[in-house]
Structure 1
Amino acid sequence: MDVEQSAGKFAAAGAAEQSKKHDDPLAEDRSIGHGENDLLGGEHVDEVLTAKMILINDTIDEIGFTPHHWKLFCLNGFGYAVDSLILLIQSIISGQAQLEFQPGYSTGLTIAVYVGMLVGAIFWGFSADIVGRRFAFNVSLFISSIFTVVAGASPSWVTLGLFVCLSAFGAGGNLVLDTTVFLEYLPSRDQWLLTLMAAWWGLGQLIAGLFAWGFIPNYSCADADNCTRANNQGWRYMWYTSGAFVFVLSILRVTIIRLEETPKFLLAEGKDEAAVRVLQNIATKYKRPCSLTLAQLRACGTTRARVTTAGLLQRFIPTKDIGSHLQGLFATRKMGWSTTLVWFSWLLIGLAYPLYNVFLPTYLESRGASFGESSPYITWRNYAINNTCSVPGPILAGFMCRSRWFWGRRGTMVIGALITMVFFFCYTQVRTASQNLGFTCAISFCLNIYYGTLYAYTPEVFPSAHRGTGNGVAIGLNRIMGIVSAVVGNAANTKTPVPIFICAALYIVMAIVAAALPFEPYGRRSS
């Protein structure tokens, strides 16, 4: 490209940028092409990698939003939906499975699902930074679908717990990878869509609620004395149907798009040529400009490749690499503070969310009975309505995150947590059936404003080279507290308002932590 062409290109880009400022509220806050506004650019951890990452971000912004990104939005959203689907199925069917198997530990399935998701988050999270994002994207849903179907044929409580655990292992990596893969292809002006993608989580809850409403009231036994496999097929139908649904989603993932490794992962691995090729392929397919060249990346210097050993087995036993990824999350004081607070946020929500959502059927049943609504049909109808209200929460959060009026991501989390806290306290004063349904719907809506924003914020503030590890540990801490909540649920009485008070107090702490977070991704580009 000669000088005149370059000058013309930059003049046109400047004019286009000026015209965007009227339509794009973030335009004045960005310095696209110079890197001054990259979120972690001021941390000066790896100068060569930072310089190359700026070029990659510039190129992604140059290409812009394409149909490729819409496909990623949906296909990664499938993972969100499956995670919430598997998590809630076990809580929905637990009561009926207990009538059939009469186990000694009533919350065993909750522990099983969280153990599976814990191992899945750690395994898929670390492997994402060591092996790559593509492997988990292609196989995790398939693994989950197989064991979800098999769980429906379980002959005993222990066997059911095992297959629930294995199903959750496959699904457990999706929250780690989905945001990572989508973010690493997104233009900076569209990063708010990461929050919006959490609506898929609510959609998964809605699907679980609809399955429960259709199967549990119609194909379930009423008491343990007369409960057999023949007259208690409802909970098994839920597993079969859900497994088939997840299997279809896993097939769509590998047929609709042939995912290549994200350019930012390739860059961190020292594979500059492959990173350029991925971006040029997208630009060529959708007829978009792409001025990035391999020479530009090489001119920045040589990135230290983290993995020099060959062979897949060696890369799966990389204690040194795991340590380097953890250290990378604490490379500076500010990054270390950010990582600590983000992980602490996941720890808090990991206790508050299961105490409410996982035990919500118990709350609805106990409150419904006290209001004269003891019908299983009413209970599961209310459950489906409640989960419907969880879908628009992240949608609203997505628009709040991209507005100065709500102080970006951190402000959205503070607002979401405080409003949720208010509704939790109000829920303890419910006196009628209508109030019961109304307040649970309001809680689900507001809770997902905070939850959806936290999901998006977490990968945005981690460096790309260590993003999978940071996400994996965050989700892992969340799952550990889910196990704790199951133990609490077994030892305490979840039919009283006490767990609701605990949840409300936890959301106050979450709001304080959100306000103390050092990075604000609003108008900034992630690494």
Structure 2
Amino acid sequence: MEEANKLPDKKVQEKDVENQQHAYDDTSSLAKGDILQLEHTDPVLNAKMHLVNNAIDEIGFTRYQWRLFVLNGFGYAVDSLILLIQSVISAQAVLEFNPSYRNGLTIAAYVGMLVGALFWGLTADIMGRKIAFNLSLLICSVFAIVAGASPNWEVLGLFICLSSFGGGGNLVLDTAVFLEYLPSYRQWMLTLMAAWWGIGQLIAGFFAWAFLPNYSCADPATTPNAPPCTRANNQGWRYVWYASGSLVFVMSILRITVIRLKETPKFLVSEGRDAECVETLQFIANKYNRPCSLTLDVMQACGTIEKRARDGKSKWGFGEVWIHLKGLYATKRIGISTSLIWLSWTLIGLAYPLYNVFLPAYLASRGAAFGQPSAYITWRNYTLVNFSGIWGPVLAGWLCSTRLGRKYTMVVGALITMAFFFAYTQVRTATQNVVFTCLINFFLNIYYGTLYAYTPEVLPSAHRGTGNGIAIGWNRVMGILSAVIATVADTGTAVPIYICAALYIFMAAIAIAFPFEPYGKRSS
């Protein structure tokens, strides 16, 4: 195999773990391969990103990426875990504290996740991905454990908000970190990683099923002679928080001990730190006995990127944030892509909680209509629904690697979800109720999981954290709005179902309009 740094216009043979052969054109002319290659933003940065892509493909898929798949997947799981935990324990906490605003915990969770997404996202392009990777879950776990000891409603909301702040940055950083180490022929795994979201939901369902039916006070609305609800007879929701926080704490320790994450090569390149980028890639290649022909001389021969050439002020100022915002609209196509991505996240941010966060209330109302009012049956069904959500991203990962690509996988997921939403309003039996909710969660996560992967794939690497953070920030804003809607509307009726169905039609149309298709190309 010829060395790529001897003749940059020659083809380089790479082997992945299964010794499959892949060839890429190693040239800074960007003749093919990279998603944003024709956008003509910073030619020097594009050339260096192309060389980094070549080096990552040459190294191939190693145990390092497998560890990232699991450890970054923890972040996906925790995001859904914290969001759903506050939802499932809310009713019991309300019975104990008798708050004036019953949906306050949902707003607290989404406010924390909104601030977390913006903070970790905006700073990730400034201080790097590594710090958030190591700290976010630790922050989340500490406040999740403390939330279980809350003496009143206001303190509980505060700790949920702080826990969500830590968890809210994971969806921004986990996709970026994994993608920026991932060989291009394995980029479909970014969609597959969303299966961890369903695992987080499943864990939430298991904890609710295990603790709430057996360690909760009775609701006077359904049990007229129920004793007063106190801390002594209502420990179940606290046990749920203790168990969840402890699990997240273990995950945070594993992140630090199992893999000592190095800063991602693409972030280092965008910061002009070519030597560290080459050192990181060579370290991985040497550790796993893989080839890596990238050298510092080849990188520096491309020139100096524009951003570093004009840096003269503090990187922590508003000017630096403005640079990243402008980078998301560097060209017309990139600007259209950014806007449509943000719109998609806004719509799914309303559709998802209207259905999933308030699903317990709807399931309880339907269960009561079917003669199944018991808490055990409700949480059993909830766990089954969450289990079905794991497999949507698995199917989506396979579909993304076919000619359907990312865009039309989202279209398929959105339209089938819409069809089942409409069909769900005609459910008349308990069995139909469980089957249809499982199918909805399965197909819903095909769209959601693909959108999670598509977003960082098409954003410029230098501005990926900012764009991803704002996208998820819009998602959280709509989550807050959904809690307000739940206050003035009856979520036990089918109205939210009709609204969600209409939103998914709109999301399918937006997916068709996306200007970039990552299938067969490499993230920039």
Q: In structure 2, give the amino acid aligned to 1:298.
A: Q
Count of matched residue positions in the alignment of Structure 1 and Structure 2: 514
Matching of residues 71-470 of structure 1 within 5 Å: 71-223=67-219, 226-306=228-308, 308=311, 315-316=315-316, 318-404=317-403, 407-470=404-467
- How far off its partner does 1:304 sit? 3.5
Q: In structure 1, give the amino acid aligned to 2:401.
A: R
CA contact (8 A) 1:459 1:467 kept: yes
CA contact (8 A) 2:353 2:479 kept: yes
CA shift in 2, pair 1:334/1:11, >3 Å: closer
- Determine the structure 1 residue equivalent to 2:224: none
CA contact (8 A) 1:59 1:291 kept: yes
- How far off its partner does 1:32 sit? 6.0
Q: Distance in 2 between matches of 1:85 and 1:219?
A: 20
Q: Secondary structure at the match of 1:42?
A: coil
Q: In structure 2, give the amino acid aligned to 1:341.
A: L
- Determine the structure 2 residue equivalent to 1:50: 46
Kindly provide the CA deviation profile for residues 298-337 of structure 1, in whole angstroms up to 9, marking residues without a partner as x: 1000124459579xxx644x20011110000000000000
One of 492, 496, 507 as aligned partner of 1:495: 492
CA contact (8 A) 2:4 2:26 kept: no
CA shift in 2, pair 1:61/1:476, >3 Å: same
Q: In structure 2, give the amino acid aligned to 1:69.
A: Q
CA contact (8 A) 1:270 1:304 kept: no
- How far off its partner does 1:6 sit? 5.1
Q: In structure 1, give the amino acid aligned to 2:283.
A: N
Quote the sequence identity (%): 65
Q: Distance in 2 between matches of 1:12 and 1:295?
A: 18
Q: In structure 2, give the amino acid aligned to 1:417.
A: A
Q: Distance in 1 between matches of 2:490 and 2:350?
A: 16
CA shift in 2, pair 1:103/1:61, >3 Å: same
- How far off its partner does 1:10 sit? 5.4
Q: Distance in 2 between matches of 1:285 and 1:321?
A: 35
CA contact (8 A) 2:42 2:306 kept: no
Kindly provide the CA deviation profile for residues 147-195 of structure 1, in whole angstroms up to 9, marking residues without a partner as x: 0000000011111000000000000000000000000000110000000
Q: Distance in 1 between matches of 2:139 and 2:470?
A: 21
Q: Distance in 2 between matches of 1:375 and 1:49?
A: 60
Higher helix share: 1
- How far off its partner does 1:223 sit? 2.4
Q: In structure 2, give the amino acid aligned to 1:251.
A: I
Which ranges of structure 2 fall in alignment gaps of 5 or more residues?
221-226
Q: Distance in 2 between matches of 1:145 and 1:103?
A: 25
Q: Distance in 1 between matches of 2:11 and 2:279?
A: 26
Matching of residues 515-526 of structure 1 within 5 Å: 515-526=512-523
Q: Distance in 1 between matches of 2:135 and 2:474?
A: 23
- How far off its partner does 1:37 sit? 1.8
Q: Distance in 2 between matches of 1:99 and 1:205?
A: 24
Q: Distance in 2 between matches of 1:389 and 1:321?
A: 43
CA contact (8 A) 2:217 2:233 kept: yes
CA shift in 2, pair 1:11/1:37, >3 Å: closer
Q: In structure 1, give the amino acid aligned to 2:13.
A: A
RMSD: 2.2
Q: In structure 2, give the amino acid aligned to 1:403.
A: T
Which ranges of structure 1 fall in alignment gaps of 5 or more residues?
none
Q: Distance in 2 between matches of 1:481 and 1:350?
A: 5
Q: Distance in 2 between matches of 1:64 and 1:37?
A: 16
CA shift in 2, pair 1:495/1:5, >3 Å: closer
Q: Distance in 1 between matches of 2:13 and 2:376?
A: 59
Kindly provide the CA deviation profile for residues 182-224 of structure 1, in whole angstroms up to 9, marking residues without a partner as x: 0000011000000000000000000000000000000000025
Q: Distance in 2 between matches of 1:109 and 1:487?
A: 12
CA contact (8 A) 1:140 1:173 kept: yes
Instruction: Pick which of 329-338 and 299-308 moved more.
Output: 299-308
CA contact (8 A) 1:352 1:502 kept: yes
Kindly provide the CA deviation profile for residues 266-300 of structure 1, in whole angstroms up to 9, marking residues without a partner as x: 00000000000000000000000010010001100
Kindly provide the CA deviation profile for residues 367-397 of structure 1, in whole angstroms up to 9, marking residues without a partner as x: 0000000010000000001100000000000
Kindly provide the CA deviation profile for residues 410-459 of structure 1, in whole angstroms up to 9, marking residues without a partner as x: 00000000000000001111100000000000000000000000000000
Q: Distance in 2 between matches of 1:436 and 1:5?
A: 61
- How far off its partner does 1:33 sit? 5.2
Q: In structure 1, give the amino acid aligned to 2:457.
A: E
Kindly provide the CA deviation profile for residues 114-152 of structure 1, in whole angstroms up to 9, marking residues without a partner as x: 000000000000110001000000000000000000000
One of 37, 59, 65 as aligned partner of 2:55: 59
Q: In structure 1, give the amino acid aligned to 2:325.
A: L
Q: Distance in 1 between matches of 2:13 and 2:382?
A: 51
CA contact (8 A) 2:389 2:438 kept: yes
Q: Secondary structure at the match of 1:429?
A: coil
- How far off its partner does 1:57 sit? 0.5
Q: Distance in 1 between matches of 2:302 and 2:345?
A: 37
Q: In structure 2, give the amino acid aligned to 1:223.
A: D
Q: Distance in 2 between matches of 1:175 and 1:440?
A: 25
CA shift in 2, pair 1:264/1:429, >3 Å: same
Runs of 4 or more above 3 Å deviation: 1-12, 30-35, 304-310
- How far off its partner does 1:226 sit? 1.6
CA shift in 2, pair 1:213/1:520, >3 Å: same
Matched, 1:13 2:9: no
CA shift in 2, pair 1:207/1:32, >3 Å: farther
Q: Distance in 1 between matches of 2:306 and 2:240?
A: 49
CA shift in 2, pair 1:304/1:4, >3 Å: closer
CA contact (8 A) 1:33 1:58 kept: no
CA contact (8 A) 2:342 2:474 kept: yes
Q: Distance in 2 between matches of 1:287 and 1:476?
A: 41
TM-score by length of 1: 0.94
TM-score by length of 2: 0.95
